[in-house]
Amino acid sequence: MIFDELACWRRYVPHRNASEFCQAIEFLRTFSPDIAVGKHVFKEGLIYANVQEYTPKKLAEGAMEYHRDFVDVQTLLAGTEYIYYSPLAGLTEKSAFDAEKDCGFYYFDPASALACKLQPGNFAMLFPEEGHMPCIECMEDPGTVKKVVLKIHRSIFE
């Protein structure tokens, strides 16, 4: 997992396929709070973004998710939430991996989790097989969140 300010994204450019990664981040940086909710495709099968709007959930309602094929770059356009990171080793599987959705779930274990406060201007980059639990409420800002989850196929990093 990488957690940093969005302005510092160039630190994380992979040596291979640097151009595609840079294009993906520049695509992400074009999004503003008035963008439509839904899927926005940049390169079919390789790079797309899901724009979501929701009220974050309580910590007890969350589950650790992971992916196998796509790297997540998550950033907020409005609001604040917590995203938790945890290695999957030692966690208990909650539901089987769904290859079509590229997503599986484990039960949350607070003893192994690291909380990061996600807000406009920063980002979390989560690689395949890294457990993460986004969409968790921040008591100091419990309002609506507008988020972009940029999905970048793992082949760009290999």
Per the CB < 8 A criterion, the answer to whether 6 and 29 are in contact is yes
Domain limits of the chain?
2-157
Cα separation, 107 vs 62, in Å, equals 8
Which tens digits make up the pLDDT trace of 80-100? Answer: 999 999 999 989 999 999 999
Q: What is the pLDDT of residue 140?
A: 77
Eight-class DSSP state of 140:
T
Per the CB < 8 A criterion, the answer to whether 127 and 157 are in contact is yes
Confidence of residue 142 (pLDDT cuts 50, 70, 90): confident
Confidence of residue 16 (pLDDT cuts 50, 70, 90): confident
Residues near 21 by beta carbon (within 8 Å), at least 6 away in sequence: 13, 14, 152, 156, 157
Q: What is the pLDDT of residue 139?
A: 83
Confidence of residue 3 (pLDDT cuts 50, 70, 90): very high
Which tens digits make up the pLDDT trace of 115-129? Answer: 999 999 999 999 999
Confidence of residue 158 (pLDDT cuts 50, 70, 90): confident
Partners of 49 in the beta sheet? 40, 150
Confidence of residue 45 (pLDDT cuts 50, 70, 90): very high
CATH classification code of 2-157: 2.60.120.370
Average pLDDT, the chain: 94
What the block records as the tokens of 157 is 């990093």
In this prediction, residues 96-111 reach a mean pLDDT of 95
**Amino acid type, 26:** E
Q: What is the pTM of this model?
A: 0.94
Per the CB < 8 A criterion, the answer to whether 88 and 127 are in contact is no
Confidence of residue 14 (pLDDT cuts 50, 70, 90): confident
